[in-house]
Amino acid sequence: MDTAIMQQGPFAPAVWESDQRSQQWAASHSHADGLDGQYASLVAVEFDAHNEEASEPSSEMDTRDEEELERLEWEIREMETSIEGLDAHYKIVDKLGEGTFSSVYKAVDLQHAYYDNDHWALRQETAIGTRSKVYVALKRIYVTSSPSRIVNELEIMEELRDAEHVAYLITAFRARDQVVAVMPYSRHTDFRDFYRVMPLVDLKCYFRCLMSALRSVHEANVMHRDVKPANFLYDPRTGHGTLCDFGLAERFEPNEWRGKCHHTLPTLEHPHGKTEINRNVQSIHFSPGGMLAGGSASSRSKAAMGPPERVGYLKNDTRPGVRANRAGTRGFRAPEVLLKCQDQTPALDIWSAGIILVAFLSKRFPVFNANDDTEALLELATIFGKKRMEQCALLHNRTFQCNVPTIEGGKRINDFILQLNPGFMDPGSHPDPDRYRLDATRALDFARACLHLDCTRRWTAAALLEHPFLASDEGQEEAFHHHEAEMQDATTPRH
Ligand SMILES: Nc1ncnc2c1ncn2[C@@H]1O[C@H](COP(=O)(O)OP(=O)(O)OP(=O)(O)O)[C@@H](O)[C@H]1O
């Protein structure tokens, strides 16, 4: 390796980082609930914290054919020869994934013992000294990625190193045109294997990890921009999740607020008034209750601000299209991204997390599958209805026009979920049917809180962590009712 672009650092794999409380909680609830057999067998694999290999899937589960395995072998050899010195540090054992911008491999960290891992060991509840092998994930970023994009990803990961439930960067290096980021290996199960069978109690665990990752990311004024199941590595056996892939992440710069829309600069304020972030924000419109600031589109459009530009559109418009960051994955893009809002906020990640929840609750994945942004807006319109889409567009200084008659009405997100999964409220053989119904109602409300079309009304990650679906004690429930009352108050139009 000729150029180290970041220092080698101490680490311990995230798989050992599992929060013991969530782990015990997930395990006890999963089994107590008399679960779907498929899910029970997923979580039943004994997790031996001291012997990673014992809990690895056996080769029988490897469905790859000979040709694929040969290709993988070739790929590993090619990587080892094109990055001089790599094999002295890491022994690549498998391929974990492949995306648009990179390939990710599982490797044994051969030199783990030569580094001081105490810092990370402090964050663990499991001693790491007893491990015979320590696995890492090597993300080989394709040469077609621009240097600025690579630096952006690495810098953001470096900045978020101490954030819980966020993939952290151990080191990164460059060998000629090859850039490799090294992360702890996070053991996980493919979302498609559990989204239809995961019980509500374990779903809470999933969203606690995801929301706590997003809270840290947003507190650092970063928008992830690509929240989706493939980027949240969740292990149902331990109840531990890790948000990865900061390849599209963008800094939220309040000082560069363009002000072309009708929504105000948000505050990432904690509910109940404990301000804790946005070091750089100079002018903040505070809203009660931890919502991103602002009222409803209709109330705001009547406010003193007035539209910055004329409303409406030219029929034969020859002007170039509006440019805005629309990075993300289809089906997970928030309405403001689809509408090319130029002042996008961290609320866009909350929308994507809400879509993941809809997949769980409706047992449908992918939820949306449009080929382009216009089609994606139409998909939203079929749920939310024309009027609310028009209001949402207006908020971003856009006009929504559609002559499809079936989108006139619109429904609540809860009704949409229940339409797709009519049996959702039925506790079935759940040992505590009332508890199930309460959790199910709260899960629907959690989805509603994530999926406000109006980005200013979407709850923050910090607020969502205190939503009763995730909150577990009375105090938090009381706080929620207080929070709800404040929200009602804030969003009721004043005449
Ligand atoms: N730390 C890790 N531990 C285990 N697996 C990982 C880790 N990081 C990434 N992966 C696996 O590799 C896949 C691709 O990683 P990543 O999303 O970072 O790459 P990408 O090229 O940006 O992908 P995409 O274009 O799909 O967003 C992930 O979906 C995951 O399955």
Structural domain boundaries in the chain: 67-184, 200-285+324-473
User: How do residues 60-75 score in pLDDT, each as one tens digit?
Assistant: 456 788 898 999 999 9
**Shortest-distance Cα residue to atom 13 of ligand 1:** 97
| Residue 357: both structure tokens together | 């929840």
Distance 244 CA to ligand 1 centre (A): 7
State the pLDDT at residue 287: 31
| Residue 470: both structure tokens together | 């995730």
Alpha-carbon distance of 25 to 205, in angstroms, equals 9
Alpha-carbon distance of 390 to 398, in angstroms, equals 8
ipTM of the complex: 0.96
State the pLDDT at residue 223: 98
Residue 276 has pLDDT above 90, yes or no: no
**Shortest-distance Cα residue to atom 24 of ligand 1:** 99
- Mean pLDDT over 192-203 rounds to 96
More confident residue, 344 or 282: 344
- Give the number of other CB atoms < 10 A from CB of residue 127: 12
Distance 98 CA to ligand 1 centre (A): 7
Residue 112 has pLDDT above 70, yes or no: yes
Distance 345 CA to ligand 1 centre (A): 24
Please answer whether residues 477 and 468 qualify as being in contact, where contact means their C-beta atoms are separated by less than 8 angstroms: yes
- Give the number of other CB atoms < 10 A from CB of residue 249: 21
Map tokens 């008034």 to a residue.
Answer: 273
Is there a common fold for 67-184 and 200-285+324-473? Answer: no
Binning pLDDT at 50, 70 and 90, where does residue 168 land?
confident
Which ligand 1 atom sits closest to the C-alpha of 230?
29
State the pLDDT at residue 299: 37
Tell me which of 164-173, 254-263, 436-445 is least confident: 254-263
Residue 281 has pLDDT above 60, yes or no: no
More confident residue, 127 or 267: 267
Ligand 1: lining residues by beta carbon, under 6 Å: 96-97, 99-102, 104, 137, 139, 167, 183, 185-186, 226, 230-231, 233, 244-245, 247
Alpha-carbon distance of 147 to 145, in angstroms, equals 6
CATH of domain 200-285+324-473: 1.10.510.10
Tell me which of 104-118, 254-268, 329-343, 433-447 is least confident: 254-268
Residue 23 has pLDDT above 70, yes or no: no
State the pLDDT at residue 132: 76
Specify whether the backbone of 76 is left (phi greater than 0), alpha (psi in -120 to 50) or beta. Answer: alpha
- Mean pLDDT over 214-239 rounds to 97
User: How do residues 395-410 score in pLDDT, each as one tens digit?
Assistant: 998 989 988 888 888 8
State the pLDDT at residue 298: 38
More confident residue, 487 or 206: 206
Kindly state the DSSP code that residue 108 receives in the 8-state scheme: E
Binning pLDDT at 50, 70 and 90, where does residue 291 land?
very low
Burial (CB < 10 A; 0-12, 13-18, 19+), residue 412, is middle
In angstroms, how far apart are the furthest CA atoms of the chain?
71
Burial (CB < 10 A; 0-12, 13-18, 19+), residue 302, is exposed
State the pLDDT at residue 59: 43
With b for 16 or more beta-carbon neighbours within 10 A and e for fewer, the 469-491 pattern comes to: bbbeeeeeeebbeebeebbeebb
Residue 47 has pLDDT above 50, yes or no: no
**Shortest-distance Cα residue to atom 1 of ligand 1:** 185
Beta-bridge partner residues of 179:
141, 174
State the pLDDT at residue 226: 97
Closest CA to 239 of 213, 211, 201: 201
Helix, strand or coil for residue 98?
strand
**Domain 67-184: which topology?**
Phosphorylase Kinase; domain 1 (3.30.200)
State the pLDDT at residue 45: 54
State the pLDDT at residue 195: 97
Residue 14 has pLDDT above 70, yes or no: no
Most confident of 93-97, 115-119, 475-479: 93-97
**Shortest-distance Cα residue to atom 29 of ligand 1:** 230
Residue 161 has pLDDT above 80, yes or no: yes
Closest CA to 355 of 229, 267, 268, 479: 229
User: How do residues 310-335 score in pLDDT, each as one tens digit?
Assistant: 656 677 888 888 888 999 999 999 99
Which residue among 19, 109, 226, 439 is the active-site one?
Answer: 226
Beta-bridge partner residues of 103:
98, 140
Binning pLDDT at 50, 70 and 90, where does residue 456 land?
very high
- Mean pLDDT over 189-194 rounds to 97
Residue 481, C-beta contacts closer than 8 angstroms, at least 6 positions apart: none
Q: Is 48 assigned a catalytic role?
A: no
Helix, strand or coil for residue 307?
coil
Distance 243 CA to ligand 1 centre (A): 10
User: How do residues 332-369 score in pLDDT, each as one tens digit?
Assistant: 999 999 999 999 999 999 999 999 999 999 999 999 99
State the pLDDT at residue 43: 72
More confident residue, 198 or 257: 198
Q: Does the predicted TM-score (pTM) go above 0.95?
A: no
